[in-house]
Every structure is written in C-alpha cells, then in structure tokens.
Amino acid sequence: MSTRPNLPPLRLHVPEPKFRPGDEADFGDVPIPAAGATPRPAVDSAPAAFHDLAYGLVRVLDEKGRAVGPWDPKLSPDTLRGILRAMAKTRAFDERMYRAQRQGKTSFYMKCTGEEAIACAQAYALHRDDMCFPSYRQQGLLIARDWPLVDMMNQIYSNKGDRLAGKQLPIMYSTREGSFFSISGNLATQLPQAVGWAMASAIKGDTRIAATWCGEGSTAEGDFHSACTFASVYRAPVIICVVNNQWAISSFSGFAGAEATTFAARAIGYGIAGLRVDGNDALAVYAATEWAAERARTNQGPTLIEFFTYRAEGHSTSDDPSAYRSAQEREKWPLGDPISRLKQHLIALGEWDEERHAAMDLEVANEVKAAQKDAEKNGILGHGMHQPMSTMFQDVFETMPWHLEEQRQEMLAEAKAAGIETS
C-alpha cells in the first residue's frame, strides 16, 4: 500500500504498435515533409548547428518522381540506372534464395525487400575500398559492388566452395577483398568494431573511412552507445547507419525508443552530426551518404544516419509477420517502394521506360538463376559434409591454442579409427 495516499499511483508505460493483425493500417499521422524541403548544411558545419535535421526527413524524390531541393545529388542517368539495376538484382537474389530455403537447400535466409535503396545507393556513394561493417540485411552492398553471386550462394549453401568453410550461419558473408567485414549474429558488435577500424585508419594516416549498419532495435544495445562515445570523442571517420524498418523480429520500434524521439536524435547527445533520411528514396540515401562520407574524409568527424524505411516481409525465413502486424501495413506504407520510385524518376527524365525495365528484370532474374545452378554444383546444405573434418579448427585463431590442437588430434584419431575420411 502507498504511504502517500494523496498522490496518484505510478503507471508503467508498455509500448504497443499502432496496428495488429486484423487492424486497418493508416499512416496518415506520420509526418512526411515535402521532397526538397529539408536544408542541406555545409559539410564542415558543427553538429550543434542542425539539430532539426535529426527530427525531419531528408527527401529528394517527390510524388511525381522529380528530384527537387538542395539534397539532389544530380547523378548521371548511367549512375541512376546502375543503382536501379543493383536494387532489382538484389530483389531477384532474395526471391531465389528464399525459394531455395523453402526447398530445403539451405537452413536460413533473410530478405531486404523494401530496403534495397539503402545498401545499393550507399555502395555507389562510398568508395570501393571503404570498409563496410554490415548487419544481416545489407547484401545489396556486395551485389552493387558486383561481387560474384556464386560466391555469396556458396556461403548460403555452406558447400565446398564456401570461402568460410561452413563456419558461419547462411547469409553471414565475409570478404576482405570486398571490404566487407564478417557479419555477426550477435547484434551491434559491428558498431564498435567499425569505429575502432576507422580510428586505426586515422592513426595510420590512411584515406579510407568506415561505415556500419544496424537495425533500430540494436540501438538499445550497449555496443551502440560505446561506439557513439568513441566515435564522438576521437572524431572517428565513420558513418553509423541505423536502418529503422519499424520492426525487430516481432517487436516494433517503440521498444527501442521510437515513441520518445527519432533514432537520429541519438546523435545529439553525443555531439555527432545526425540526419534522418527517407530510406525508400535512393537519391536521398545517396546524397546523405555522400555528405557524411565527405565529412569523414575531411576530418569533420562521424555522422549518424537514420534511414526511415519499412521491412516489407518477414524478419527471416523463420518468421511469420502476419502473427503480429496488420497485413495492410506494406501496401499502406507512405514512402512507397524504392525500386518503383527510382524507376519512375528515370522515366520522368526520359531515360527509362516500362519495356526496358521489364527486360532488365528478366535479365537479372536469369543471371541469378544461372549463378544458382553454378553454386549448386558445389553442393547444398544438408547433403553430406562439404568441408574436410580437418578444417574445423582452422582460421578460428591466428595461432591455434594448445587445447584446440589437442582436441583436433583427438578428433582425427577417433575418425581414423572409425574409418572416416578427414581430408
């Protein structure tokens, strides 16, 4: 019983999404400023000078597909077509790998449907040797950088062509040559790693910057805040990207703090430049990334970008979003589809048409299909062991510790006694 009967009892607020299964979705109360209305500060502006950009929304493409306002990056038609093709190929890749999982060819897959503009447009805005520390929905970075699809599929299948030798969960790619750091299933670990890499780049006097990605839910992790502290204190040349796609696995963004403020506003408390960007607008994504990259390269410090977008499909092949959100949300999302919006823009410029778009879709679908056939020649997950047993302990430590070497020898001895091939 309260000892202060004159005071009202305290109440705990538990966030609740706007729409649940069976509800009619209506995003009419989501503030969407007009395209081109958000100012673009100078690259060397102090972070405190534009706090309002952490609460607004950088947009370039208007409802008629026109590029307007100060954030228009004025890209060439060839670059625009390149970004469009990368997004279309990423979606085709996702569709085929999703079906492969449903056919039992691999155990797990994660789509980025509705979020393709983020990774693909950013890949074009960054330099090829800038180090990327992705989360698990940035496959578009590799695809936009023309990384071989077969290599990515080999990893998904954990087959004999898998460069990671079956040591990673499917879709957790890693390639030093592609400037793509190993994806981790432990959320937010990549953030302090990216900041540390960027600090090392600055210490060495290099010119390469780092970029890292996480979902909005991961901003609740301690690693996120540690990364922001180090990035701010040492002015690390890093871009921290928060992909706010509204949903974690089955909990909505309110549990990470979305009801209280924007995720870009996290930057203000750390003295970091913060931007909130229309994540379904490829031109806005490109422009914001290019701006942040220039800040990093000119020693102006880090930038935190919130990409406001929507996860159109399930969290993964293990998830059924119909169990926790309205079926109407995808079609009612007010910022549309990133591929359709960039297509509309190119058509408005007279640089594209429906016939060429359909031909491109068919071409990338056939390219992905051919890559799948080649990858499956190396085997698929579940059809026996594709890597020699002797490789199990390799590439885990730079120098294998004594206890692992002991376990390795025990394993090899038992396998030999059982007549099992180990190499």
In this predicted structure, the answer to whether residue 46 has a pLDDT above a threshold of 80 is yes
How much is the mean pLDDT over the chain?
94
Residues of the chain with CATH 3.40.50.970: 47-317+330-376
Region 135-147 average pLDDT: 97
The pLDDT of residue 313 is: 95
- Its sign, for the CA torsion 103, 91, 240, 19, is negative
| Residues whose CB is less than 8 angstroms from the CB of residue 312 and which lie 6 or more positions away in sequence, other chains included | 113, 114, 115, 330, 333, 337
HSE-up of residue 176 (Cα within 13 Å, Cβ side): 2
| pLDDT value, residue 11 | 72
Task: Centre a 10 Å sphere on the Cβ of residue 70 and count the other Cβ atoms it contains.
Answer: 13
More confident residue, 165 or 9: 165
pTM of the model: 0.92
Backbone angles phi, psi at 82, to 5 degrees: -65, -45
Cβ–Cβ < 8 Å for 83, 338: no
Could you give the angle at the alpha carbon of 19 between the alpha carbons of 16 and 24, nearest 5°? 160
Residue at token pair 């900041």: 195
The predicted structure's pLDDT at residue 1: 54
Q: pLDDT for 171-206, tens place per residue? A: 999 999 999 999 998 999 999 999 999 999 999 999
Residues 211, 247, 63, CA angle at the centre, nearest 5°? 80
Q: Compute the distance between CA of residue 206 and CA of residue 200 in angstroms, rounded to an integer.
A: 9
Q: Average pLDDT in the 346-365 region?
A: 98
CATH of domain 47-317+330-376: 3.40.50.970
Whole-angstrom distance, CA of residue 85 vs CA of residue 385: 36
Q: Which is nearest to 283 in space by CA: 78, 132, 83?
A: 83
Structure tokens at 287: 């422009």
CA distance 120 to 94: 14
- pLDDT tier at 4, thresholds 50, 70, 90: confident
Residues 6+ apart with CB under 8 A from 204: none
Report d(CA 166, CA 383) in Å as an integer.
13
Please state the length of the chain.
Answer: 423
Structure tokens at 254: 């309110």
Chain segment 103-130, per-residue pLDDT in tens: 999 999 999 999 999 999 999 999 999 9
Using a pLDDT cut of 70, give the percent of the chain over it: 98
Tell me how far the alpha carbon of residue 364 is from its chain's centroid. 21
